[in-house]
Amino acid sequence: MLKPAVIARNLHKWLGLIVGLQILIWLATGLYMVVVDIDFIHGDSLVKNMRDVIVVPDSKLLSMASLRIRYPDATQIGLRPVMGKTFYTVTTATDRYLLDPETGVVHSPLGEKAAREIAAYHYAGEAPVISARLINANPPMEIQTRRLPLWRIDFDDRFATSFYIDPQNGSLVTRRHQYWRIFDFLWMLHIMDYEDRSDAHNLLLIFAQITGLTFAITGLWLLFYSFSGRRTKRRAADK
């Protein structure tokens, strides 16, 4: 019969061959995620003017009543600020609109010039816009769950910052940058969902975790043998 210590050492060695690389990936990706500040990852330091208040003009405001006649199937009519100025937004079952609050002129969908201006208005950095692109289909991974179309405005900074502007209401929908993209990629490696990067309830991950857990237990078990040999070692060296 093999001794327990021999069994543990061999299990640790062979399980290490199966799951060792993934354990290293878990440790390395976990390290990145805990070390890099999550607010920075979310891009909180890249934006400004996110708390603009709406200014309701006392007289000239177009009435809700008239808008409800104009959009009889509206499910929402509201006021929101765009670049510090107040606009009406209207949502119907099929569409969304951005309206001038006094004249009722429809501004949506916003063109490239407006999208660039809105992006620059919310951008806290100094770098200029280097490109603007309207995304209608096949969105990149980083805005997979968002409603299209969206303007993607890229800035020429060291973070490779991208702002996504909704052409229907002028809002900054989200912001992405290089460290966010790295985080997202590492998160994919961490949860082993290589397709959607969001499902931690997958069989591959569960299999790797069970193997990894057995591996860790044999490792702890070996520690016991490794350290209980220390006293005899010194005696041996003295001889």
Partner 1 sequence: MMRLLKNVHKWVGLLIGLQVLVWLLSGLTISLLDPEKVSGKQWTSKSLTVAETLEPVTLVEPDELPAGIRKDALGIDLTTRNGKPVYLVRHADGETLVDAASASVIVIDRSGAEQVARGDFTGDGEIVSIESGMAPDMETRDSRGSYWKVSFSDHANTAIYISASTGDVFERRNSFWRVRDFFWMLHIMDYPGRENFNNPLVIAVALIAIWLGISGFMLLFGSFSRSDFFFLKSPGTRGEVVITLIDPGVKQPQKVKLNKGSNLFLSLATHDVSLASICGGGGECGKCRVRFETAPWPEANTIELGLIPKRRRERGYRLACQQVADRDMTLNLPEGTLVPGQ
Q: Which residues ranging from 81 to 100 are in contact with partner 1 (CB under 8 A)?
A: 81, 91, 93
**Quick check: 47 binds partner 1 (CB under 8 A)?**
no
Where does the chain show beta strands of DSSP type E? Answer: 74-82, 85-92, 96-99, 129-135, 150-155, 162-165, 172-176
Site for partner 1 contains 127 (CB under 8 A): no
Q: Which residue has the tokens 């309701």?
A: 56
CA 100 – CA 107 distance, rounded (Å): 7
User: Is 102 among the residues that bind partner 1 (CB under 8 A)?
Assistant: no
Contacts of 210 (CB under 8 A, 6+ apart): none
Q: Footprint of partner 1 on residues 197-216 (CB under 8 A)?
A: 199-202, 205-206, 209-210, 212-213, 216
Longest dimension (CA), the chain: 101
Report yes or no: 48 and 122 within 8 Å, Cβ to Cβ. Answer: yes
- Residue 195 touches partner 1, criterion: CB under 8 A: no
**Smaller CB distance to partner 1: residue 127 or 220?**
220
Q: Is 10 in the site for partner 1 (CB under 8 A)?
A: yes
Closer of 135 and 221 to partner 1 (Cβ) = 221
CB closer to partner 1, 112 vs 211: 211
Question: Would you count residue 48 as binding partner 1 (CB under 8 A)?
Answer: no
Residues 6+ apart with CB under 8 A from 184: 141, 142, 197
Tell me which of 45, 57, 141, 178 binds partner 1, using CB under 8 A: 57
- 18 scored as a contact of partner 1 (CB under 8 A): no
The bridge status of strand 96-99 relative to strand 85-92 is: antiparallel
Residue 76 or 178 having the CB closest to partner 1 = 76
DSSP run (H or E) holding 48:
none
Residue 29 or 174: which CB sits closer to partner 1?
29
Task: Using the rule CB under 8 A, give the single segment among 69-77, 111-119, 157-165, 172-180 that binds partner 1.
Answer: 69-77
Site for partner 1 in 220-239 (CB under 8 A): 220, 222-223, 225-230, 232-233, 236-237, 239
Residues whose CB is less than 8 angstroms from the CB of residue 179 and which lie 6 or more positions away in sequence, other chains included: 36, 40, 41, 159
Q: What are phi and psi of 88, to 5 degrees?
A: -90, 140
**Cα angle for residues 158, 110, 103 (degrees, 5° grid):** 135
Minimum separation from the CB atom of position 205 to partner 1 (A):
5
Considering the rule CB under 8 A, would residue 52 count as an interface residue with partner 1?
A: yes
The answer to whether 189 contacts partner 1 (rule: CB under 8 A) is no
Does position 115 interact with partner 1 (CB under 8 A)? The reply is no
